[in-house]
Structure formats: C-alpha cells, structure tokens
Structure 1
Amino acid sequence: MNLLLQSSISRVLLLRSLAIVVQFVAVLICHFLLELDLALPSLLSVIALESVFQLLSVWLLRRRIRRNERVGSLSIVWQLLADIFFLSLLLAFSGGATNAFVSLLLLPIMIAAVTLPVRHTMMITAVAIAVYSGLMLMLPEHQGTHHMAQMRSHFIAMWVNFVISALVVATLVSALARTLARQQKAMATNREEQMRAEQLLALGNAAAQATHQLATPLGSLALLQEELAELTAQDKGLAPVVSELGVPIKQCQQQLNLFRQRAGQLRAAQESQGGHYFCCLGDLLSEIQQAFALQFPAQRLVCNGFDGLKAQRLRSDPLLSAAFLNLLANAVRANELVQQTSIHMTIKVDNDESHWRIEDLGGGFNSEHLASLGSAVMASAHGLGVALWLSNATIERVGGRLALGNVAQGACIDVFIPMVRG
C-alpha cells in the first residue's frame, strides 16, 4: 500500500468528519438562534447521507489497510468528488451562489493540487467550476430594480473570481507541490548516496588495513616455503607438496600487489584527471581475462562480440576490472554448485553505450536476490551481497548501471557502461 496516499486519504476523511460536525452545528444555529428561513429537513437529510457515506468510507479504508490492499489516487479522486457533491447540495438548499460559503468549493481543489497528479487535479477543478456555474444558473431572475441588477453583477463577479482562484490554485499549488516532492526525492537520494559512500569508505579502510596486516605474514610464509623447498629438494615425497604450497602464497602476493597498483591508479586518476578515467575496451578485457585465469584456473571464460571493438574507449575506473571480477566470481560459484565450467561474456555497443552480459550455467537468481542484490548489502551463504553491492557502486560511479536476470541456462548479469567518442 502507498503510505503517502493512505495518509492523504486519511486526512481527507478526518476533514470530512470535522466538516460534518460543523455543518450540523451551523444549520442548527442558523435555524433556531438566527431564525433564518432554511430548508431544514433537506439540509439535515444531506448531512445524514454524508455521514453514512463517511462511515462507509472509513470502514472500507480500514478493511483495505488490514488486507494490505492498494490505495490508488482514484480513491482520493472519488472522495473529493463526493465532497463537492455534498457541498453543492448543501449550497443549493441554502441560497446557492448567494451563500457566503460557496468559496469552500476551493478546498477540494487545494487538496487535489497537493496530493494528486495534474490530470486529476484539473478534473476536480473542472467539476468544482461546473458546480459553481450550475448554482449561478439557479439564481432567480430579478426584474425592474437597479439594486437587483447590481447584485446579479456582483454574483457574476464572484463567479469570475472563483474561476480565476480555482485555476491559480490548481496550477500554482500543484507546481509547488511537484517541486517540493522532487526536492524531497533528491534529498533522499543524496542521503542514500552519502550513506553508501560512508559504507564504501569503511569497507575500503578495512580492506586496506587487512592488506597491510597480511603483507608481513605472507612474506614470512614465502620465505619459509623457499627454505622448505631447499630442504626437501631431494625428498620425492615432500617436494611436490612444498612446491604446491607455494602456488596459493604467490597468488596472495599477486593480489596484494594488484591492490597496491589500483590504489596508486586511483590517486593518479584523482590528481591528474580530476577523477575522470578512461581506458580501451581491449585493455580492460585483457586485465579481466588475466585475473580470471589466475584466480579460477578450473573455469573457462568464453568471450564473444569483442572483435573490432577492442580499440574503442569507455568511461572507466581503476576498480572497474575488479568489479567485473566480482561478478565473474559469483558466476563461478553458481557453476561450481552444478559442476559446470563455462562462463560466457558478450559485449555489444549501441547508442554510445557498451552492454556487457555475463551468463553462467548455474541455477539462476531467486526472487529475493533479483529484488535486492546490487542495491544493498544482504546476507548470503555464498558471499553474493557485498560483492555485487561493491560492483554496482563502482559501475554507477562511471555512469553505468547493473541489472540482474535469469536465462534458460542459468543467471545473467547485464552491465551498461558509457563509451567515449572522439
């Protein structure tokens, strides 16, 4: 249920409840204390009908809230049309256009301008003007006296004033409400971006600290492995084991060196290019393929559609290749769960934008992942949440976007990155 619309319709119902009480008290005071000649039975009948409609509306709204049903803008439209209808009946039985409270027809227009789309606001405005015009046509024809002619001119001037006021309220208030809504949306977006930047900074600091702390023990392990290799060189049983031990140590050292290189690239891009960074598509692809082959030797990365595009430039970031590697790592995990070894990566360039698609042969994303992955950090037994969230943040930083989906073979991740022309 739209909470904003629910709040708006609740306020409309509250205002109508207050209006019913005020109408009832005002009719009694005018008839019994001021001794005005009113059509009391007709007025009380309209108020009673309005009260029944109000009770029915409140009951329906509460039932929708309990059932978590959708409350659309048309619900408010019908409520405002009902307000105009009941007010027009009350005015018709108490003087019509000569009633001083005829200007209350502006209230539904004001509420519509603040809460409803422009087309609905204009419809409410047209109905209110039509009701006022109908009340004007109900004015009796007065013949003879100059005073009566002046009063009729006065009522016509009031009608013109109402029409102008209604149009001004419908346009000006509606425009101000839209502007305020856009500003609030922009502020909310900025707050979300600031929170995400703070989270990214915290993760970056943690990664830098972990890298610094791992460098020394990794160096010590490398030295110990080399010494063990020398001591067991003649031992045919231990030599292969010690040699195999050096492979993950070298991989960890390479990853640490790559982290340092990217940190340097980030500083250089910030200082020399004001934060703007570009690269050739072929260079990015080569870096991705090398890192993939190093980290996932048991998997095969099949690249399609890159012929003739490798020289083209695209907006980039020193961490863009790491973002793609995170996406490929998730595809590798999906493949491993179903004993598959092929991952396909395809690229197309269209309308100054490159479209990268990564497809695996796993089981695909479930509905929860499709709704949340990439936009927020979420818990996952396979580490999907943080990796995709970081990748999405990097891709958005270069003006791109990320989309998740499923295909017949498994899951697919679409990445769109702007190209650089000229």
Structure 2
Amino acid sequence: MAVRRFSVVVPKRGVQRRAQKKPATKKPAAYTKVDYVREKTAVGSRGVRKEQMKSKRSLPELLKASDDEIIEMLVADGMLPDWTGKQCPRCEKGRLSKLLQRPGRCGLRHRCNRKHCQMYMSPTHLHPWFTDGNGAAATPLQTQAAVLLMKLQNISLPSTCQMLAVNHKLAEDMSTRLMYARQDYVKAYQPKIQLGSKKGDFRYVKYWVDVEGDEASFTKSNMLGVDPEVDPKKPVRWEQWLGLVQRGRPASLILERLNPPPSEVRAPGPGAVRKVEWMPLAKKHLQGNHIIFHTDAARSYTAKVDQVLHDNVVHAKKRKVIDGKVTWIKPNYVKVVSHKLPATSKTVRVKAGTQIIDRAWRYMKDRIVLNQILRTMNVRAGSKFLRAQIQAAQYQYWFKNEDPWTKACDLVTFKMEKMMKKC
C-alpha cells in the first residue's frame, strides 16, 4: 500500500496555506477594533494605487499633437487661459478675438480688434510656465508641455533632459517657476485651513477629531565665515518646521517655520519645539476646536490648551528597573488610549501615534533637493529657495491623491486670476 506523503512547501494561497502557515503575532481585539483614522475618508485604507490611476493627459498625446491641436487641448484643460473677449494687454483699449490662424505663421493667436493696434497675441502670453519664441532656439509648446508633465510626476532633471532631448536650462527654469507658483498657493490657502471645528456639542464623540503634531529638521548650516555676528561656540543654524495634520485629511497639513536657537557643530539636532514657540501656534490652530492631539514625548506639547485632549507615544526605548533587574522597554509607536470628554462621563478610545505626520515628513523630504550645487548657491538654512521648496512639497502632499495635471491647471487659474480680472 502506497503511503501518501505531504509536501512541506506551504502553498501560496487557498485553504491549505491558511492551515499550514505559521500564525503571525496577533493583536488583541481591544487593539484591532479601534481604527487609527476614525473619520470616513474618500480614500480607502489601502491608499491610492498610482498604477491604477489614469491621468488626464499622457506623454504621447502631448508630443503627437500639432501646433493647433496642442493649443486647443491646453485651453480646453485650463492649462492655457482663454483670452477671448479680454482687454488687450498692449493697448489696454481693444478686445481680443477668439483663436484664429495668423497669415503666414503657424499656430493660433488672439487678435486685438482696435484699429490702431491689431496685435496678434500668443495664448501663452504672461503664462507662469510656458514661453513663446521664434527661430531655432524656440522650444515647441508640445515639448514644453511634456517637460511640465514629467516635472509633475517628479521625474528627475537628468532623466527629463535625456528623454526629451531638451536643454537643462529649460527644465530647471520650469521647475523653479512651478515651485514658486506652488508656494504662492500655499501662502494664500493655508490661513483658511481649520483643524477641527468650534461648532457642535463637545459632549458628543463625533465632534472630536484626531490631529497629529510633530516637528522636523530639513538641513543645517554652519555660519562661521558667513555671518560676522555668529557665536563661534554655537555657529550652526537649523531649518526646523512644525507640522499639524488632521487624520484622514491630507489637505489639512499646516506647516509653521520655527526659530530654534543655534547649536554646536556636533549637535545631533535643534531639539524639540520650545514652549515659547508652541503656545502661540496652539492657540492659533487648536484652541477651542474639539481636538484630540497626538504627539511624541516632547514636553512642550503637554501645555494645557482649551478643548484639546492630549496623548503621546515614546519613540525611544526606556531603561527601567523591575524587581531589581534592569530591563529595556520597547518604544511605542501606536497604542490605544482612553480620553474622558470634558464636563461629561463619556469616554472615547483612540489610537495614539504620529504615523501620518511622520509619513508626511518622509514624503516631503523625498521631494526636496539638497545637493552640493545648491549649497554653493547659498541655499542654507533660512534661505528663500529652501523655504519655497518646503512649501512646494507641502502643496504636493495636499493633493497627493489627485491627478497632478488637473491640479496644475487649477494652479494656472489661480496664478492668472488677478491678471484676467484686470482685463
């Protein structure tokens, strides 16, 4: 009689795998039934799969378009403003016609209807990123749109220049203009962000929201030989920012620049946020908004703020003596805590941790360029260029789950809005 032998190889799927595989460490039910993000969000827990998203425009679509088709395509998307019926920016008296073909030239143009003007104006006039020109040195609009699309997808500068055979100055200039446009948008819309809400009855759990806070350092600069007033014992300055974000709402990320004291050359960091800097920001963004505030173990965050419940997690292992023996307690990154709502006996169970804000820092630092070339251009801690890079990365985090081409069209509308109103 043949003996049936079982394979020691665990199947990749199915009931047999579930029966044979080694069980993983299971969390207790009290931990698993508490959601980390309590709010219902438009994006599921698995996030957005970029490979499953479809962008409004693709690279072949932009490069294969003719001169007339690319203009009509960009105007339809909102990437180029529609100047039809607007005041002529040259004579400031006539009105511009719809797009028409200029005799003897290729490409569509707007024409002023004033008798003594009759100017043919390019649809890229005053555009924040696109330029217009004639001759061999001019770059076609198709190529410019393709460069912009690659910059929106965070393709590196060398790869962009090699794939599209363009001069590096074109890609660098467009990247810089895009960065400052994003910074202007952040400066305009961050003051409108509100964490939590002052409305609603604070005795009910549904009116309390989870907000995470943390600070991060992006770079440091030794100011010896640069600033004559620097202290030789503490010559290092740090670029440190404070971040606040509501769980489930990436567009609620708020960044505030801090001013940490100078440190020694070998200092590992600028330290946590100081209470003198934290309290004004807490009153500005958190006070009275029914917030459960999650942070790390920095002491400044423990300050009392009205309508704010605070908890923290310790990110470092701790040495503790138990029954005469020295033991090391593992760091806590996420734990379940209970908060009692003020003026009531109700409690709310939430997960304490700073997972979302920590991922936001990682997301932003991946999009900030700090190399030796930029350091020779005086891009130091506190510089205008570095600040613009950080706020541009903040803009990208706001809309990380949306089509970058569509958001770039909205950004053009934001930049051209003031000029179009005057016309």
What's the TM-score once normalised by structure 1's chain length? Answer: 0.22
Higher helix content, 1 or 2 = 1
Q: Which has the larger radius of gyration?
A: 1
Q: Which has the higher contact order (CA 8 A, sep 6+)?
A: 2
